[in-house]
Amino acid sequence: MKVVIATSNQGKLKEFETLLAPLNWQFYSLQDLGINSPIEDGATFYENALIKAKHAATISGYPAIADDSGLCVDFLNGEPGIKSARYAGENSSDAENNIKLLESLENETQRNAAFVACLVFFDPNSNESPLSAEGRLEGEIARDSKGEDGFGYDPIFYISEESKTLAELGKDYKNKNSHRAKATKILLNKLLKEK
């Protein structure tokens, strides 16, 4: 089956291809199909994931899987949250977002945070309700950036049980333990039941 992964982020696309391999589906990104990203104006991760999945599925005619995810920092009342990708401003880089977050917590000792991912599977050819799943990865914000194997906030997201940042732990660890991996496992089980 052909399925759209509703992202232009190549890091996310590769992660999904690995995590969803048991489905033996053929995955396409938005770029592969020439689809622009929709405006994400939802108030929650679920709403934004649903907007993206419906948009990709409606335009392509194929089922779509979309995620919306972000970093929620307790001290910042859940920010950057749904604005994680543009925390330092529209079109900001990962490095700029990381710098802004580190500056926001510069003198703060309470650095608890969680990565949250919400996934939605939407089939435009079905009357079924969209399937969804949520995953979380608890950690804290490090005082500085460490590690090269990751993207986004991975270099400053510290896993205390491992005494390393997510970027230091690498793809194998992330593919098994990340917020997106946890949500994908839940969604994968739902999809395998439907198959």
Q: What crossing angle do the helices spanning 166-177 and 179-194 adopt, rounded to 10°?
A: 20
Q: How confident is the model at residue 14 (pLDDT cuts 50, 70, 90)?
A: confident
Short-list 46, 29, 48, CA closest to 38: 48
Q: Give me the domains of the chain, ranges plus CATH numbers.
A: 2-194 (3.90.950.10)
- pTM score, two decimals? 0.89
Please report, as a single letter, which amino acid is at residue 76. L
Give the pLDDT confidence score for residue 195 in this predicted structure: 62
pLDDT band at 171 (very low <50, low <70, confident <90, very high): confident
Has 154 been annotated as catalytic?
no
Q: Give 103-157 pLDDT, tens digit per residue.
A: 999 999 999 999 999 999 999 999 889 999 999 999 999 999 999 998 899 999 9
Residues with Cβ within 8 Å of 52's Cβ and at least 6 positions away in sequence, in order, are 6, 7, 37, 38, 40, 64, 66, 67, 68, 120
Percent of the chain with pLDDT over 90: 83
Q: Which residue has the tokens 């999945």?
A: 53
Alpha carbon 29 to chain centroid, angstroms: 14
**Cα–Cα distance for residue pair 149/168, rounded to 1 Å:** 6
pLDDT tens across 26-81, in order?
A: 999 999 999 999 999 999 999 999 999 999 999 999 999 999 999 999 999 999 99
- Token pair of 183, please? 């949500």
**Crossing angle of helices 166-177 and 10-19, rounded to 10°:** 40
Pick from 77, 53, 76, 80: which is nearest to 66 by CA? 53
The residue written with tokens 């996310």 in the block is 12
- Check 41, 67, 68, 123 and give the catalytic one: 68
Can you list the positions of beta strands (E) in the chain? Answer: 2-5, 26-29, 64-73, 112-122, 131-141, 157-159, 164-165
